[in-house]
Amino acid sequence: GNSVTQMEGPVTLSEEAFLTINCTYTATGYPSLFWYVQYPGEGLQLLLKATKADDKGSNKGFEATYRKETTSFHLEKGSVQVSDSAVYFCALSPLKTSYGKLTFGQGTILTVHP
């Protein structure tokens, strides 16, 4: 079956530090990959996505590259801000046969201190 594994959290950083949150997946075929973010007290919202190998998704300074050879989709940001404090979820959708269903990782809590 499909699965997503994220690095254990929580992650605590100082403002302007470099961020990496690891994500690896198991899936048949060529899934689409997503990062969703959940700010305190809110629902999830899409941060970025990639639909095929070697694609790079980017948004708000965050980036992630779809690496088929390592089945990974690690999230990076060069300089985090306090406002980036949130829970980050890696997810996959197998496409076509899955009716858009998402499989999520367990989530990584990020706290950024001034």
Binding mask 75-94 for another protein (x = CB under 8 A): --------------x---x-
Burial of 65 (0-12, 13-18, 19+ CB in 10 A): middle
Torsion from C-alpha of 46, 52, 56, 59, nearest 10 degrees: -20
Distance (Å, whole) CA 97 – CA 114: 45
Residues 35-54 that bind another protein (CB under 8 A): 36, 41-46, 49, 51
Among 56, 60, 101, 113, binds another protein (CB under 8 A): 101
User: What is the nearest approach in angstroms of another protein to the Cβ of residue 56?
Assistant: 15
Burial of 64 (0-12, 13-18, 19+ CB in 10 A): buried
Q: Which stretch binds another protein (CB under 8 A): 18-26, 61-69, 70-78, 105-113?
A: 105-113
Among 27, 107, 110, 112, binds another protein (CB under 8 A): 107
Q: Taking CB under 8 A as the rule, does residue 105 contact another protein?
A: yes
How many other C-beta atoms lie within 10 A of the C-beta of residue 28? Answer: 9
Count of residues for the chain? 114
Positions touching another protein (CB under 8 A) are 4, 32, 36, 41-46, 49, 51, 89, 93, 95-96, 98-102, 104-107
